[in-house]
Homo-oligomer: A and B are copies of this chain.
C-alpha cells in the first residue's frame, strides 16, 4: 500500500483527449481524494507532426516510473513512417516492448442495456489473454523489403514467452469473477497448429503448462473456427489465450459482439507496471464533436484500479473500482446515458456528468 499512486496520462489523438479526460474525471470522483495523482505526458501522431517525435524520452520516463499508465487513443491516418507503418502507434508499441508488457488482457462482457449485433447473444462474459511481447508483432520495424519486390516479416514464438502467457491465462481462470454459462472454468488455446510450426509449438507448450492446472479445463480451437464460435456460442468461453496477431483480431471480434470497440477495455501488464486504455482507435471522424463513447476508457480505469489493488492491497482502490463499476452499470442501463455507437443519442458530456453525479 502506498499513500498516493501516480498515474501517467497520455491523451493522444482524435477522440483520445475526450475519453481520457472523461476517465480521469470519473476516477477523481470515484476514488477517495489523495489516492491517485495524475500527470499528463505528450505522445502520439499529433505530437509527431508538431515535433518530429511521436514519443519523447521524457514521456517514456514518466510512464516507466509511474504506478500505471492511462491512455486515450492514438493515430492520425496518413501520418506514417517511411516503411508505411503508423507513427501514432509508437506510443503503445514502444510501451509494450520496452516495458515487456507481455499480457494483454481484454475482457469481453455484454453489459445490461448494451445492444449486441447478435440475435441471441446470451450472457457473454469471457476474457481474451493476448500474448503481447512476441508473435508476429516481434517483426515490427524488423521486417525486410527487398527492391520493392519482396517483403518479409517473422513470427517468433519463444518457450519463455508462451509459458508465461499461458500460465497467466490459467491463473486468471482460477481467480476471475464470472464464468462461462456451463459454470466450468476453462482456458481455450486459440492457434493455427494444424498448418504452422510456430502455432504447433504454442499449442505444445500450452499442453505442458495445462497439466499444472488439473482443476481447469483446457481445450484448443483453431483461429478460423474461433471466429465462428465467438459468433455462435460466445457464452461457452471463459479465458482464451492466443498469439499476438490472433489476439488483435479476435479481440476486436469479441468487442463487436458486446457493443463494439467503445465497450472494450484493454489492460497490458508485465511484471511491474500496467498500461490501460480502451481497445478502440482515435476515431478521427468523430473527434472533437463530443460524441465519443467514454465507457471503454472508464472500464479500463476500473481494470487499472483492480490491478493496483491486487499489487498493493489497498481498499481505497477496490472500493473505488466497485463504485465506478456500479455507476457504469447503472449508466448503461439508462437509455438516456448511451452514446450513439451503442444505440443511444447521449453526447460524451452527458454520460460523464451523470456518472459524476452518481459517484
**Interface residue ranges, A against B (CB under 8 Å):** 75, 83-86, 89, 93, 116-120, 136-137, 139-140, 143-145, 148-159, 192-198, 200-204, 223-225, 227-228, 231-232, 245-246, 248-253, 255-257, 260-261, 281
Contact = CB atoms under 8 A, between A and B. Distances in A.
A256 B249 CA distance: 16
A154 B151 contact: no
Given A84-B197, A118-B119, A260 B228 contact: yes
A48 B318 CA distance: 57
B154 A152 contact: yes
A149 B83 CA distance: 30
Given A84-B193, A155-B136, A228 B201 contact: no
Given A84-B201, A253-B231, A154 B153 contact: yes
In the A-B complex, the 5 residue pairs with the closest CB atoms: A84-B200, A143-B197, A151-B201, A227-B253, A224-B252
A204 B157 CA distance: 28
Given A203-B84, A255-B228, A139 B194 contact: no
Stoichiometry, as copies per complex, reads 2
Contacts of A139: 155, 196-198
11 contacts: A85-B193, A86-B194, A117-B120, A118-B118, A136-B155, A140-B196, A150-B159, A152-B197, A155-B155, A227-B253, A228-B256
B197 A153 contact: yes
Contact of A252 (B152, B228, B260): B228
Contacts of A137: 195-196
Contacts of A223: 248-249
A336 to B, nearest CB: 23
A272 to B, nearest CB: 25
Contacts of A150: 156-159
Given A137-B196, A150-B156, 16 more contacts: A84-B200, A86-B195, A116-B119, A117-B120, A139-B197, A148-B159, A151-B201, A151-B202, A152-B154, A152-B198, A155-B155, A227-B249, A227-B256, A228-B256, A231-B256, A231-B257
